[in-house]
Chain A
Amino acid sequence: MLDVFMNVFTPSNVEFLAKGMVLTLTLSVSVVIISIIFGTILALLRTYEKRVFGKLAGFYIEMFRNTPLLLWILVCCFMIPYGTIVIRGGLALTLYTSAVIAEIVRGGLNSVAEGQFEAAKSQGFTLIQTLILIVLPQCFKSIIPSLLSQVITTVKDTSFLQVVAIPEYTRSGFVVMGRYTTTPEVFMIFALLAIGYFVICFSLSCVVRGYQKRSEIAR
C-alpha cells in the first residue's frame, strides 16, 4: 500500500494535478460570476419584457436548458475559430450555465411582491433604480441556496471539458493515469480525483444546508 502511495504521489504528479485543480477552480469561479450577470439580465428580460427581447431571452433559455452541455462544448471548441481552447470551453460552460441561472433568478423574481414596484414608483424611483435597489436584493436573498447548488453543479460540469483536452483536474488525472497499469495505482488516482471534487462540493453543500437551517430558524 505504501509503495503504491509513493509511486503515485511523486512531486511531478502532485504539481501537475495541482495545476489542474487551479484551472478547474479558476474556470468555475469565472464561469459562475459571468453566468450570474448574464443570467440575471436574461431573467429580467424574460420576466418584465414580454415583447421581442423577452421572447429572445425565453428562446435562449429553453434552447440551452434542453440540450446537453457536451453538445455546446463541442460546438464552441470545433466551430469557433477565435480564442484559446480554454476560453472556448469556458464560453460553452458560461452559455449553458447562464440559462440555468436565468431560470433560478426568474423563480426569485416571481417571489418578489408586485406591490414593491408600485411602492417604488410612488417614491419616484425609475425602473432601473427599482430593479437594482429594491427588487434584485430581495430576489437574490431568496435564491442563495439554489444558486450555491448551481455552483456545485458547475464545478462538477467543468469535468466535461476534459473531452476537448482542456487540462483541468479530471483531464490531468487521466493524463497521470495513463502512466500506470496496476489496479491499486489506477484506483488511487480515481480516488484522488473523486476526493478533490468531493472536498470542494461537499463543503459548498454544507454551506447551503447551514444557510437553509438558519433561514428556517429566522422564519
Chain B
Amino acid sequence: MKSSNPFALWRWEKMFGEWQMFGEGFLRTIEVAALALILALVLGIIFGVISTSNNKVMRGIARVYVEFFQNTPLVIQVFFMYNGLAIAGLRLSVFMIGVLGVGIYHGAYVSEVVKTGITSISVGQVEAAKSQGFTYIQYMRYIILPQTIKIILPPLTNQAVNLIKNTSVLAMISGFDLMYMADSWASSSLDYGPSYVFAGFLYFMLCFPLATWARKYEERLKRQDTARIPFEPSEEAVTC
C-alpha cells in the first residue's frame, strides 16, 4: 500500500525518473530569459537615453512606451500576442512570444532605471564633453553611460530576477517552460507536491545568486559612499 502523503517518497522517485522533462523546461526558461534580457537591455538603453534627450517628440515616444507597458499587466500583453495577433493573422511561436512579450515589458522598467542613472550624472559632465567637441552619441557612449553602470547595476540585476520569474507567464500559453512542464507533470501524475517543490527549487537556483549579489553590491556601494577617509598627517607635518 503506497502512502497517500502528497510528499511521499515514491512520488519523488517517480518524478526524478522523469527528470528530463524538468531539464527541458529549465533549459527553455533559461533561453527565453537570456534572450528577453538582451532585448530588454537594448530597448531599455535606447528608450532610457531618448527619454533624457532635449527633443520633445523623442521624449514623448519614450514616455508612451514606458507608461503603456508599465501600467498594463504582462498577462494581457502576452495573451494579446498569442490570441489577438493570431486572430489578426500574425502567428508567432510561443518561444517568440516569450522573448518579445517579457523583453518588451521589462524594457520599460530597464528604461526607467537607465533614465535615473543618466539624470544622476551631473550636468557639468555633459557641458564639459560638449565643450571638447563630443557629439551626442559620443558623449553618451564614452562619458555618461560608463558612469551610470555602477549606479544602475543593482536595480538592473533585480530587474533580471523579476524577468526570470515573469517568464513563467509562458506556462499560461503552453510555452514549454519550466513552470509549464512542472504543472503538466503535476496534473498528469497528480504528484503536485514534489513537482512544485522541484520547480521552485530550480527557479530559486537561478534567482537567488543574482538577488544576493545585487544586495551585497549595493550595500558595498553605500559603505563606500559614506566611508570616512582616515586622516594621515603628511611627513612634513610630522617633522615640523
Hey, which bits of chain A sit against chain B, CB under 8 A?
62-63, 65-71, 74-75, 78-79, 152, 156-157, 159-160, 162-163, 170, 173-174, 177, 181-183, 186-187, 190, 193-194, 197-198, 201-202, 205
> Are A70 and B211 within 8 A (Cβ)?
no
| Binary contact readout B142-186 vs A (1 if CB under 8 angstroms, 0 otherwise) | 000000000000000000010001101101100000010011001
Give Cα A194–Cα B76 distance, bound, in whole angstroms: 7
Asked if B84 is at the interface (CB within 8 A of a chain A CB), the reply is yes
**Contact partners of B186 in chain A: CB under 8 A:** 74, 78
> Are B79 and A156 within 8 A (Cβ)?
no
Taking a contact as CB atoms closer than 8 A, the residue among B6, B83, B179, B193 that contacts A71 in the complex is B179
Asked if B226 is at the interface (CB within 8 A of a chain A CB), the reply is no
**Contact partners of B172 in chain A: CB under 8 A:** 70, 162-163
Which residue from chain A places its CB closest to the CB of B204 in the assembled complex? A66
Q: Give the number of residue pairs across the A-B interface with Cβ within 8 Å.
A: 106
Asked if B240 is at the interface (CB within 8 A of a chain A CB), the reply is no
> Are A68 and B87 within 8 A (Cβ)?
no
**Given the contacts A67-B204, A78-B186, A202 and B76 also touching, CB distance less than 8 Å:** no
Asked if B71 is at the interface (CB within 8 A of a chain A CB), the reply is yes
Most buried by B among A71, A174, A202: A71
Would you give the shortest CB distance from B167 to chain A, in whole angstroms? Answer: 8
Asked if B207 is at the interface (CB within 8 A of a chain A CB), the reply is yes
Q: In residues 79-93 of chain B, which contact A (Cβ within 8 Å)?
A: 79-80, 83-84, 87-88
Give Cα A174–Cα B84 distance, bound, in whole angstroms: 11
Q: List 7 A-B contacts (CB under 8 A).
A: A68-B203, A75-B196, A170-B76, A173-B76, A183-B88, A186-B83, A205-B67
Would you give the shortest CB distance from B207 to chain A, in whole angstroms? Answer: 4
Asked if B192 is at the interface (CB within 8 A of a chain A CB), the reply is yes
Which residue from chain A places its CB closest to the CB of B203 in the assembled complex? A67
> Are A66 and B161 within 8 A (Cβ)?
yes
> Are B192 and A190 within 8 A (Cβ)?
no
**Contact partners of A78 in chain B: CB under 8 A:** 186, 192
Closest 4 pairs (CB-CB, A-B): A201-B71, A66-B207, A159-B73, A68-B168
**Contact partners of B70 in chain A: CB under 8 A:** 152, 201, 205
Give Cα A198–Cα B64 distance, bound, in whole angstroms: 12
Size of interface on B: residues with Cβ below 8 Å to A? 37
The main secondary structure of chain A at its interface with chain B is helix
Asked if B199 is at the interface (CB within 8 A of a chain A CB), the reply is yes
**Contact partners of A157 in chain B: CB under 8 A:** 73
> Are A67 and B207 within 8 A (Cβ)?
yes
**Given the contacts A65-B211, A71-B196, A187 and B71 also touching, CB distance less than 8 Å:** no
**Contact partners of B84 in chain A: CB under 8 A:** 186-187, 190
Which residue from chain A places its CB closest to the CB of B75 in the assembled complex? A159
> Are B72 and A66 within 8 A (Cβ)?
no
**Contact partners of A177 in chain B: CB under 8 A:** 83
Asked if B200 is at the interface (CB within 8 A of a chain A CB), the reply is yes
Most buried by B among A68, A74, A173, A177: A68
**Contact partners of A68 in chain B: CB under 8 A:** 165-166, 168, 179, 203
Which residue from chain A places its CB closest to the CB of B199 in the assembled complex? A71
Asked if B10 is at the interface (CB within 8 A of a chain A CB), the reply is no
**Contact partners of A67 in chain B: CB under 8 A:** 165, 200, 203-204, 207
| Binary contact readout B1-18 vs A (1 if CB under 8 angstroms, 0 otherwise) | 000001000000000000
